[in-house]
């Protein structure tokens, strides 16, 4: 969790101050109550001086982040407003939307460029140096957004026939996220396009076993459709997500 003024990093002091800044940013112009801030800063045991400490963090943030960021007291909490284009998360989401739009229209090269541009905004794990209370609530959503953008980038690259260079990356992604069926389906398609159909079928069987053992479920229709296409001797096509699935 970092803030920058031009090329200079603004030194936000301590995990509590960073947590308050992040909590206000996530609400994007909505009031975050003192009660909610207290839960994110200290969990279910805020100190007796919680309100005073929150006030101190807000004052320090105002001084450090002005004029790009405005923090106002708005009962029962605080409200943050940031100039448009100054928040990486907003830029990421905007570029991902453009990427999905290009992907749906068949503009695969343009889509690749948008997704790559979005993913370059990530610098390591989301929400470093904040409290565990905030990490537990917000990091899964952010990580899911990153993985969705990455898998959409891979869809576009597969559509461009770049399967050979994608295989090592997809192997690593399946190892890191063994229950992520979309990466597994993409690896199967890449292997098939490279002429390794038997290996692709083995990737499916491994995924089916893991899903049954870990979650007690069968493979999704998407993963099954790729498998059935391979069994039929067909080359499965990239299924471009639409609507909420791509958001």
Q: Domain boundaries in the chain?
A: 3-82, 88-159, 161-247
31, 146 in Cβ contact below 8 A?
A: no
Let me know if the fold of 3-82 is the same as that of 161-247.
Answer: no
130 sits in which H/E element: none
Handedness of CA 185, 136, 83, 78 (dihedral sign): positive
Residue 247 clears pLDDT 70, i.e. is over it: no
Residue 214 clears pLDDT 60, i.e. is over it: yes
In the chain the beta strands, taken as DSSP E runs, fall at: 3-5, 8-10, 32-33, 69-74, 77-82
- For the entire predicted model, the pTM comes to 0.85
Please name the fold of domain 3-82: Arc Repressor Mutant, subunit A (1.10.10)
Identify any residues that bridge with 4 across adjacent strands, giving them in sequence order: 9
State whether residue 28 is helix, strand or coil: coil
Identify any residues that bridge with 78 across adjacent strands, giving them in sequence order: 32, 73
Structure tokens at 42: 């200290």
Angle between helices 132-159 and 181-193 in degrees, nearest 10:
20
Residue 1 clears pLDDT 70, i.e. is over it: no
Residue 230 clears pLDDT 80, i.e. is over it: yes
CATH superfamily, with its number, for domain 161-247:
Tetratricopeptide repeat domain (1.25.40.10)
Mean pLDDT, rounded, for 138-153? 95
Number of other residues whose CB lies within 10 A of the CB of residue 180? 16
């Amino acid at each position: 969790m970092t803030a920058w003024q031009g090329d200079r990093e603004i030194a936000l002091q301590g995990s509590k101050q960073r947590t308050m800044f992040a909590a206000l940013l996530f609400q994007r112009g909505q009031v975050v109550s003192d009660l909610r801030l207290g839960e994110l800063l200290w969990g279910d045991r805020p100190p007796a001086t919680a309100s005073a400490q929150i006030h101190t963090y807000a004052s320090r943030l105002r001084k450090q982040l002005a004029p790009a960021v405005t923090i106002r007291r708005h009962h029962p909490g605080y409200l943050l407003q940031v100039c448009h284009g100054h928040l990486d998360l907003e830029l990421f989401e905007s570029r991902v939307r453009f990427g999905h739009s290009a992907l749906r229209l068949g503009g695969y090269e343009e889509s690749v460029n948008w997704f790559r541009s979005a993913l370059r905004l990530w610098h390591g794990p989301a929400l470093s140096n904040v409290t565990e209370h905030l990490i537990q609530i917000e990091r899964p959503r952010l990580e899911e957004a990153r993985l969705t953008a990455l898998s959409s980038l891979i869809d576009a690259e597969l559509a461009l026939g770049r399967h050979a260079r994608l295989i090592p990356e997809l192997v690593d992604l399946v190892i890191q996220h063994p229950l992520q069926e979309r990466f597994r389906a993409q690896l199967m398609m890449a292997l098939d396009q490279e002429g390794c159909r038997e290996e692709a079928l083995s990737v499916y069987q491994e995924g089916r076993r893991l899903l049954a053992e870990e979650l007690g479920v069968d493979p999704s229709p998407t993963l099954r459709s790729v498998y059935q296409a391979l069994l039929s001797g067909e080359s499965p096509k990239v299924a471009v997500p639409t609507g909420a699935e791509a958001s």
